[in-house]
Amino acid sequence: MKIIPLTIPTPFYIGDVNVFLIKEEPLALIDVGPKTVEAGDALREKLRGHGVQISDVKRILLTHAHADHCGLAKQIRDEARNAEIFVHGWETGHLFGRSATEKHKNLRLRSGVPETVCGEIEAIYKDAARLTDMLGEDEFSELQDAMEIEFSSGVLKVLHTPGHTPGSCSFLREADRTLMAGDTVLKRLTPNPTLAPDPIDTNKRFKSLAEYLVSLAKIKSYAPTLIYGGHGEPVDDYEEIFHRYVRAIDERQRSVVKLVSEKGITAFETAQKLFPHAVGKDVHRFLAISEAIAHLDYAESENKIAVELKDGVEFYRKL
Ligand SMILES: [Zn+2]
Ligand SMILES: [Zn+2]
């Protein structure tokens, strides 16, 4: 099975996104890039370089529903006359745009994020939403963990690897243990477990960091020889990256727990202390808040700190 990585530009801080052409019968793309003219042109041109046109695409497999990865999915599907889009069911909150507003806002308010900052974060969301076409309920098929996607010369196995987002999925070519992991494994960064409602009970937060740690171990159990992340170069030393991630997460856990006093601290205050420079009106502020919440939730689940709700805001306290 031929896997061809293509680099597509994005307007986001993270830079280019990796898209993969599975040059097989039926022809497939893993991720597609954001809905910008530049990304569309680049994708067309790079596919042409491999003798492929958009109209040849039969399947679009999405690692997750962030705009830099999925934005062009609907456009390509329509242009390719109903290519089939596959995405995990826990990811569709993003695609339908429903959870991007009210539920997310409630989660932020509960974390002590002031109304004004909520407004700024929502503006960032709206901007990013312009780079994705929403999908209707009947316009995609659901990816399931352990499902095998068949091609003429082999299969891609779906691994549900939640953490970065609830429905993040990775695709494994079992023959040589090559994995396409989206933003779950990135060579130069420790991926952010982003704040999201729990897909099972959307009034709760998704336990993103705990889930992420399980996903990292799950990937390790497959002993991948090569991992293509959603950005940057491929990883051929996953064991090392795994240990680096776990160490970085441990260190951050310690600094987060240290910030929690007897008086109590909100997730927003923790984020400000952890990342004093992430105060601008950009995505870093949202990521800083996500990171703080993920770590506080994890510390609380590990019984390192306690949490209590006061006037609708969660305060974390030293035990
Ligand atoms: Zn992402
Ligand atoms: Zn990404």
- How much distance in Å is there from the Cα of 64 to the middle of ligand 1? 7
pLDDT bucket at 211, cuts 50 / 70 / 90: very high
- How much distance in Å is there from the Cα of 311 to the middle of ligand 1? 32
Q: Tell me whether residue 165 is in a domain.
A: yes
Q: Tell me whether residue 308 is in a domain.
A: no
- How much distance in Å is there from the Cα of 257 to the middle of ligand 1? 26
Report the mean per-residue pLDDT for the chain. 92
pLDDT at 97 (0 to 100): 53
- How much distance in Å is there from the Cα of 34 to the middle of ligand 1? 12
Domain hosting residue 29, numbered range: 3-255
Q: Tell me whether residue 301 is in a domain.
A: no
DSSP 142: E
pLDDT bucket at 279, cuts 50 / 70 / 90: low
- How much distance in Å is there from the Cα of 184 to the middle of ligand 2? 9
Phi, psi torsion values for 148, nearest 5 degrees: -110, 125
pLDDT at 166 (0 to 100): 94
- How much distance in Å is there from the Cα of 160 to the middle of ligand 1? 15
Ion ligand 2: residues, CB < 5 A: 68, 183, 230
Q: Tell me whether residue 57 is in a domain.
A: yes
Q: Tell me whether residue 85 is in a domain.
A: yes
CB 199 within 8 A of CB 89: yes
- How much distance in Å is there from the Cα of 197 to the middle of ligand 1? 16
- How much distance in Å is there from the Cα of 303 to the middle of ligand 2? 32
Query: pLDDT tens across 53-76, in order?
Result: 999 999 999 999 999 999 999 999
Q: Tell me whether residue 245 is in a domain.
A: yes
pLDDT at 111 (0 to 100): 95
pLDDT bucket at 136, cuts 50 / 70 / 90: confident
The number of the ligand nearest the C-alpha atom of 12 reads 2
Query: pLDDT tens across 257-273, in order?
Result: 999 999 999 999 999 99
Q: Tell me the C-alpha to C-alpha distance, in Å, between residue 155 and each of 129, 196, 217.
A: 32, 31, 22
Helix (H) or strand (E) holding 248: helix 238-259
The number of the ligand nearest the C-alpha atom of 19 reads 2
Q: Tell me whether residue 169 is in a domain.
A: yes
Q: Choose between 243 and 286: higher pLDDT.
A: 243
- How much distance in Å is there from the Cα of 32 to the middle of ligand 1? 13
- How much distance in Å is there from the Cα of 124 to the middle of ligand 1? 15
Question: What total number of domains does the chain contain?
Answer: 1
CATH number at residue 191: 3.60.15.10
Q: Tell me whether residue 278 is in a domain.
A: no
pLDDT bucket at 220, cuts 50 / 70 / 90: very high
Q: Choose between 7 and 107: higher pLDDT.
A: 7
Q: Rounded to two decimals, what is the model's pTM?
A: 0.94
CB 288 within 8 A of CB 271: yes
Beta pairing, strands 226-229 & 305-310: unpaired
pLDDT at 126 (0 to 100): 81
